[in-house]
Chain A
Amino acid sequence: MQQPRPLTLIAELSYQCPLHCPYCSNPLDIGAEKYRRELETGDWTRTFREARALGVLQLALTGGEPMLRRDLVELCAGARDAGLYSSLITAGVHFTRERAEALKSAGLDHVQISIQSPDPEENDRIAGNRSFEKKIAAARFAKELDFPLTINCVLHRQNLDRIEEILDLALDLGAQRLELANTQYYGWAVANQDALMPSWEQLQRAEEAVQRFRERVGPEVDVLWVLPDFYEDLPKPCMGGWGRAAMVVAPNGDVLPCQAASTIPGLEFANVREHPLEWIWSESDAFTRFRGTDWMQEPCRTCPLGRQEEDFGGCRCQALRLTGDAAATDPVCRFSPHHDRVVSARESAQTDEFLYRAIKRPARV
């Protein structure tokens, strides 16, 4: 098989964050010693250049909260120099007019601001932080400076019924894109599954609202809506396929095929401080382990729908979590012998209480 080229680099600049979202995709051990030593400015800008040489065009500057990096302006300049299209994925609370201007001058291309709910009080309760007003102000600064603006809202049982308010808020704010990201059960979301899992009725109503909005507003706002995995019966090509389209660099320089890959025991992650990115992509254990189709077991190996090159067996982290084997077929698939575990998770017990993301307190999952 010809070696694929990556298109996207996800740079997790820091796991520090003022918010405590209960569905955060960061690992549960964000407070661990290994994440304390964040990469230096020069490590990042070199990584950006190496990424471009490998084929990367899109750079996501994320975290945690990327705006907590004091060298963010330099990093944006480095990204532009390297020829990458940069997106800042931020909670918005530190996106002041002054910093926004500096980022614009440095060459930042696009701003994505998260909203936890269109209702200020509910937003602040979900985020575990008083942040709604600052997010709205941040969105307005982004528009004033002519940044293309994406609003991102992670959806779950406790905010899905406000879908119409979310759509209208994005339109009011002048967003070009709205990412309606149904919660994926990795990281902190696993600990909060009972509080987050929506009902089928909620999802259907939301999907209809999205459809009406698209018909009314047209291409002016690009609404991204994807049905959550747990209500599907065929898996999605997680990350566009393992080691096929994207790489994630953790704050300490470890390079992962996806944000949740550190949950897979026995996978070794090479670090940009020690290895060229090209080697990490082509040769490292983590990237070659589940690349292509040779690693597949049944029923993937003889997939009745011939989808091996379409969904690449789905999500490895989900397979691990639900079957105990990271090389198993993603149980979202109706051909998986473990598909019943996905079906039964749809009816998990319901609670409104969150276990908030926190760096100091270890979670029990």
Chain B
Amino acid sequence: MTRPRLVTGARLQFDEVRDEHVLLVPEGVVRLNPTAAAVLELCDGERSLDEIVGALSERYDGADLRDDVQGLVDDMTQRGLVVDAAA
């Protein structure tokens, strides 16, 4: 995975009714914790995985989030929700 992006038709949204981030996909709703939402917002098909980790690290006081980001992107890829824009 070099430049992850959300699968065609997936939309990030904040659900005010349930007070949580969601990923909306064809006939499905994936509930997201705030960190997952922050990662997916950066999966724009332009940034590399390194750049995503770097951007998040800045936002969260230098914390090393590489394993978390990698884990989430792998999981979302397995589920067909994230694809590689470079592929």
Residues A87 and B26 in contact, CB atoms below 8 Å apart: yes
**For chain A residues 108-159, which have a beta carbon within 8 Å of chain B?**
109-110, 112, 146-148, 150
Of the 9-residue stretches B12-20, B38-46, B49-57, which lies at the interface with chain A?
Answer: B12-20
- Asked if B24 is at the interface of the complex by the 8 Å CB criterion, the answer is yes
- Best-surrounded residue of A55, A112, A146, A222 (most CB of chain B within 10 A): A222
Residues of B within 8 A of A148 (CB): 7-10, 25-26
Given contacts A85-B24, A87-B27, A219-B77, contact A52 B9 (CB under 8 A): no
Q: Report the contact-size class of chain B (Cβ under 8 Å from the partner).
A: 20 to 34
Residues of A within 8 A of B29 (CB): 7, 57-58, 85
Residues A110 and B80 in contact, CB atoms below 8 Å apart: no
- Asked if A53 is at the interface of the complex by the 8 Å CB criterion, the answer is yes
Given the complex of chains A and B, what is the CA–CA distance between A150 and B10 in angstroms?
Answer: 13
- Asked if B22 is at the interface of the complex by the 8 Å CB criterion, the answer is yes
Given contacts A87-B26, A176-B9, contact A55 B77 (CB under 8 A): no
Given the complex of chains A and B, what is the CA–CA distance between A85 and B9 in angstroms?
Answer: 10
Residues B77 and A177 in contact, CB atoms below 8 Å apart: no
- Asked if A83 is at the interface of the complex by the 8 Å CB criterion, the answer is yes
Write out, one digit per residue, whether chain A residues 49-67 have a CB within 8 A of any chain B CB (1) or not (0). Answer: 0001111011010000000
Q: Which of A55, A58, A60, A176 contacts B24 (CB 8 A)?
A: A58
- Asked if A298 is at the interface of the complex by the 8 Å CB criterion, the answer is no
Residues of A within 8 A of B77 (CB): 219
Name the residue on B nearest A148 (C-beta). B9
Given the complex of chains A and B, what is the CA–CA distance between A305 and B79 in angstroms?
Answer: 30
Residues of A within 8 A of B7 (CB): 148, 176
Cβ-Cβ contact count across A and B, 8 Å cutoff: 59
Residues B8 and A176 in contact, CB atoms below 8 Å apart: yes
Residues A57 and B15 in contact, CB atoms below 8 Å apart: yes
- Asked if A347 is at the interface of the complex by the 8 Å CB criterion, the answer is no
- Best-surrounded residue of A52, A53, A58, A85 (most CB of chain B within 10 A): A85
Query: Distance in Å from the Cβ of B24 to the closest Cβ of chain A?
Result: 4
Name the residue on A nearest B15 (C-beta). A57
**In terms of DSSP, what is the predominant structure of the interface of chain A?**
mixed
Write out, one digit per residue, whether chain A residues 92-104 have a CB within 8 A of any chain B CB (1) or not (0). Answer: 0000000000000
Residues A57 and B24 in contact, CB atoms below 8 Å apart: yes
Residues of B within 8 A of A150 (CB): 26-27
Name the residue on A nearest B13 (C-beta). A83
- Asked if A208 is at the interface of the complex by the 8 Å CB criterion, the answer is no
Residues A109 and B18 in contact, CB atoms below 8 Å apart: no
- Asked if A353 is at the interface of the complex by the 8 Å CB criterion, the answer is no
Residues of B within 8 A of A83 (CB): 13
Name the residue on B nearest A55 (C-beta). B17
Write out, one digit per residue, whether chain A residues 213-243 have a CB within 8 A of any chain B CB (1) or not (0). Answer: 0000001101000000000000000000000
Residues of A within 8 A of B80 (CB): 176, 219-220, 222
Query: Distance in Å from the Cβ of B81 to the closest Cβ of chain A?
Result: 9
Query: Distance in Å from the Cβ of A139 to the closest Cβ of chain B?
Result: 14
Residues of B within 8 A of A58 (CB): 24, 27-29
- Asked if A5 is at the interface of the complex by the 8 Å CB criterion, the answer is yes
Residues A176 and B78 in contact, CB atoms below 8 Å apart: no
Residues A52 and B27 in contact, CB atoms below 8 Å apart: no
Chain B residues within 8 Å of A, Cβ to Cβ? 7-11, 13, 15, 17-18, 22, 24-29, 77-80
5 more A-B residue pairs beyond the given contacts A54-B17, A147-B9, A148-B25, with a C-beta to C-beta distance below 8 A: A55-B15, A109-B24, A110-B27, A146-B8, A148-B26
Sample 27 A-B pairs with CB under 8 A, ordered by A number.
A5-B18, A7-B29, A52-B17, A54-B17, A57-B13, A57-B15, A57-B22, A57-B24, A57-B29, A58-B29, A60-B27, A83-B13, A85-B13, A85-B24, A85-B25, A87-B26, A109-B9, A109-B26, A110-B26, A147-B9, A148-B8, A148-B10, A176-B8, A176-B26, A177-B26, A219-B79, A222-B80
